[in-house]
Chains A and B, each alone.
Chain A
Amino acid sequence: MKFWERLGKIDRRIIYIVLAVVVIIPLILTVKLPGKVRAMPRTKDVFDHIENIDPNGKRRSILISVDFDPQTEPELKPQLEAVVRHAFARNIPLLVMALPIQGTDIGIEVFTRLAEEHNKEYGIDYVILGWKPSPVAVILGMGNFIEQVFPTDYWGTPLSELPVMEGIRNYDDVGLVMDFTGSSFYVYWVYYAHTPYDVPVATGVTSVSVADIYPFLGSKQFIGMLAGMKAGAEYERLVKDKYYQDQDIFLRGTQALPALSASLLVIILFVILGNISHFATRRKS
């Protein structure tokens, strides 16, 4: 029965190595997923909301707040890119900002790359507002008048000179505030943008924070949520199916999903092994 006992006491270093191998291999070999990712309702909610934004209507723009730093980039960047592609495909004007300063650089990198890919022009299709300290003041101020908080864009051009800002004064002209965050910036958007100004807000978060978001979804303070890397892959699928069927676009989340699945599978296997050992040794004793 020694075998059963040993099964319950596998050295943690073995677990680490197995996990490392299983995560690295799919990333290097770029394993393709069999079948299509099915979008979860919360992801679909966000997608449908953006589908229903009228690019020529009153609430025609999307305000994207890149509130994460490089540490949570792997989980949140796929979501961000998928949403941006969606908005670009529908010609929705995009306003990009960040609450923590690190977000600005990530936003600029993503937008410059995707804009070129989609033939979009800075100032006409999107604007990078940049970063300002003290999140609460920024969010509240924009409810009054966006130019009050950001008189110029990130590079110093007055907003009034940018065609994309035409007719966009405050949250009344924003169809959705989409916040991507690895910490708890989403709370600010609920408390200071949604509650006082009634602008629809959605958030993209890391898997760890997902459980914290549900109370806000229940109270409809968020119109939807993108949860972790998987939601990134789900959203990519939705966007690709509708707008880029015959085009080859880089699906960041979908590409990383096999590694994620494999690592979870490893965890499940080890948990099962541990339980087998638990029952075998218990019966013995």
Chain B
Amino acid sequence: MKRRIPLTLTLVLGIVMMIQFFIPHQFSQDFKNTALEWLRVIGGFAFIIGLASFITHHYTKIKHKKEGWAYSPIALGALVVMAVVGLIGRSPNMNWIPVTVQGQQISVFTYLFSNFFTHMMIPLGATMFSVLAFYIASAAYRSFRAKSLVSILLLVAAFVIMLAIIFYNVLPLGDLGEWLLSVPNMAAKRGILLGASLGGIATSLKIILGIERGYLGGTK
């Protein structure tokens, strides 16, 4: 029973949405819009569950003094501060506790929010992103070994592309790099894309028909 309801819902809605795709009439469009609205509403509720998970996870960490528990109060504190600052500071016509910034009077909450965002969130994200450069170097060093014909080809292709950037004014290298990208790369890409799209359709079909039910937990 616990499994039958979701499976029936999936089957019915899956088929209805499939039929909807072929009907341009107003009632069909209205149905689609309503369905999409429901999706957003449900997503909103799921966020509360996520939040609950976040809080309990860190709470248990603190309670049992697990390794690295000291970071948990920081995470919880950041959650509260950012939520308060964001909720108040981003509401329209907000002017609580005004401060003067570059000749403009804005609420201290707005000020803090934009500062937290531009001077903490963005640099932190950018830092994580830039670590990529170092990881690319070490990963390339470790795994680009000419072990077989295929890996030799990969190695040569990578060298051509990189050298085309380094020797920015040497003619044939750049053109060769361009060719590698626009011919063999594109062919492989389209192949993978085609296979993945069909696989995607088949998986959807399996889900709609209830053949695939692993995502509901268990095949029984």
Contacts and interface: CB of A to CB of B under 8 A. Distances in A.
A20 B133 CA distance: 9
Given A37-B168, A230-B165, A275-B146, A267 B185 contact: no
A257 B168 contact: yes
A104 B82 CA distance: 23
B137 A71 contact: no
Nearest to A266: B137
B26 to A, nearest CB: 19
Classify chain B's interface size.
35 or more
Interface in B166-181: 166, 168-171, 174-175, 178, 181
Contact of A15 (B125, B126, B137, B189): B137
B137 A267 contact: yes
Nearest to A273: B141
B136 interface: yes
A171 B122 CA distance: 34
Nearest to B182: A214
Interface in A209-228: 210-212, 214-215, 217-218
Interface residues of A, number: 44
A35 interface: yes
Nearest to B174: A40
A271 B139 CA distance: 10
A91 B193 CA distance: 42
B169 A35 contact: yes
B141 A261 contact: no
B137 A16 contact: yes
A31 interface: no
B190 interface: yes
B163 interface: yes
B138 A16 contact: yes
B190 A215 contact: yes
Main secondary structure of the interface of B (DSSP, over half): helix
A15 B118 CA distance: 31
Contacts of B162: 264, 267-268
A17 B166 CA distance: 20
A12 interface: yes
Contacts of B190: 215
A220 to B, nearest CB: 12
B128 to A, nearest CB: 9
A71 B174 CA distance: 27
Most chain A beta carbons < 10 A, residue from B129, B170, B186, B190: B186
B155 interface: yes
A159 interface: no
A71 B186 CA distance: 27
A55 interface: no
B142 interface: yes
Contacts of A70: 118, 122, 126
Interface string B35-78: 00000000000000000000000000000000000000000000
Nearest to A230: B165
B48 to A, nearest CB: 23
A214 B189 CA distance: 9
A137 interface: no
A36 interface: yes
Nearest to B159: A268
Given A38-B168, A42-B178, 15 more contacts: A12-B138, A12-B142, A38-B171, A40-B178, A211-B186, A211-B189, A214-B181, A264-B162, A264-B165, A265-B166, A266-B137, A267-B137, A270-B141, A271-B140, A275-B145
26 contacts: A12-B138, A12-B142, A15-B137, A19-B133, A19-B137, A20-B134, A33-B168, A38-B168, A38-B170, A42-B178, A69-B122, A70-B122, A214-B189, A218-B182, A218-B186, A230-B165, A230-B168, A261-B165, A263-B137, A265-B166, A268-B162, A270-B141, A274-B142, A275-B146, A278-B145, A279-B146
